Structure 1
């Protein structure tokens, strides 16, 4: 019998975390967008002010990594409570269909309850019907009336520069 042991990642896991991120990006057809490095991950996950957390799912016995989840806290003004935003949930191809994704999600739900969070949320690519069906089977509800927006790269730099110029003008 193979069990999944779920535990917080450690700095020693950083190379594997980056490998899993790349595997996920390849699955999502977005590998060309991955610029993360081990150094960056080490800083944001284990530095003086961590921005995110990772849990690792390892097979027992043996310790082989089957998957991971990367998440961080957000906040709901309507609930006046923190939440957990699941950025990435990934189970490696050879371990899918064994309930490991559900175990990782249940672990995060337990963390959310323990931390008095008001919700656990995530995004899913609209073409990933298998994942959509899986999430719905667990009671997740799509937020169909919401559209996610993103500013990145040069557009983020330009937007930030425009705001900085306004802020600097207010100080003069």
Structure 2
């Protein structure tokens, strides 16, 4: 790090409010504030009780400056699990100091340590700073793939058909 050494810690149940705060700041950055319906209770349930995701914090001098929320997925072609990075966010005032790179490097190390075959994520098409950042790390854009989603009412309707 340019200013200080980064450390990491996994989130615990008591961090639900901190996680929600990072999610809201990310939503603000992505102009999607109205889409956030998560609550501390939902995060505690799904992350810590049901163990469906994990959160890693990047810390500078003991203060959380960034977070990554991720979970395991599975590649049938590789025949093994991978890590899917749902969210990566560094506080605006802490950007440019290497914390995002450090988080991705740590996630890559976790994937290797766990025997995963890949680390994947999505990025909004308009987010050029992030796209440039990911490319600088050697990440490949999957041009031939499109993301599809069922959620809310369309998800319920699909389940009923």
Are 2:121 and 1:122 aligned? yes
Q: TM-score, normalised by structure 2?
A: 0.97
CA distance in 1, matches of 2:58, 2:122: 21
Aligned residue-pair number: 159
- The answer for the alignment partner of 2:73 in structure 1 is 74
Displacement, 1:2?
Answer: 2.0
Displacement, 1:92?
Answer: 0.5
Are 2:9 and 1:10 aligned? no
Displacement, 1:4?
Answer: 1.6
Which SS does the other structure have where 1:36 is aligned?
Answer: coil
Q: TM-score, normalised by structure 1?
A: 0.91
In structure 2, stretches of 5+ residues that fail to align are none
Post-superposition Cα deviations, 1:71-126, rounded to whole Å, max 9, x if no partner, equal 00000000001000000000010000000000000000000001100000000011
Displacement, 1:3?
Answer: 1.8
- The answer for the alignment partner of 1:56 in structure 2 is 57
- The answer for the alignment partner of 1:35 in structure 2 is 37
Structure with the bigger RCO (C-alpha within 8 Å, sep 6+) is 2
Displacement, 1:70?
Answer: 0.1
In structure 1, stretches of 5+ residues that fail to align are 163-172
RMSD: 0.8
CA distance in 2, matches of 1:5, 1:88: 19
Post-superposition Cα deviations, 1:43-86, rounded to whole Å, max 9, x if no partner, equal 11110x310000011112xx221010000000000000100000
- Larger radius of gyration between Structure 1 and Structure 2: 1
